[in-house]
Homo-oligomer: A and B are copies of this chain.
Amino acid sequence: MMELPNSADLTESLKSVGLTKYESLVYIALVRVEGATATEIHEISGVPRASVYPVLDRLIQKNLVIVSHSTPRRFRAISPEEGIDNLLRQIQADADAAKQVLQEIYRQRVTADGGMEELIWSIYGEEKIIQRLEELIAHAAVSIRIVSSGQFLQKIVHSVLRTGERGIDIEIISDHPRPAGACPASVHWTTVPVSLGQAQPQIENMAGIFIVDGEKALLLMGSTDVAPTALYSESTGFVNFFMQYWSFIRGLHKKA
Chain B residues with CB below 8 A from A119, complex form: 35, 68, 70, 74
Docked Cα-Cα span, A99 to B77, in Å, equals 13
Contact of A74 among B17, B84, B111, B116 (CB under 8 A): B116
A16→B111 contact, CB < 8 A: no
B106→A77 contact, CB < 8 A: yes
Count class of interface residues, chain A: 35 or more
Q: How many copies does the complex hold?
A: 2
Q: How many Å from the CB of A192 to the closest CB on chain B? A: 31
With contacts A101-B10, A105-B32 known, is A94 near B5, CB below 8 A?
no
Docked Cα-Cα span, A119 to B108, in Å, equals 57
Chain B residues with CB below 8 A from A60, complex form: 124
A112→B17 contact, CB < 8 A: no
Q: Is the interface of A mostly helix, strand, loop or mixed?
A: helix
Q: How many Å from the CB of A188 to the closest CB on chain B? A: 28
Q: Which of A55-102 contact B (CB under 8 A)?
A: 60, 63, 66-70, 74, 76-82, 84-88, 90-92, 94-95, 97-99, 101-102
Measuring CB to CB, which residues of chain A are less than 8 angstroms from any residue of chain B?
1-2, 5, 9-10, 12-18, 27-28, 31-35, 60, 63, 66-70, 74, 76-82, 84-88, 90-92, 94-95, 97-99, 101-103, 105-106, 108-112, 116, 119-124, 127-128, 131-132, 135, 232
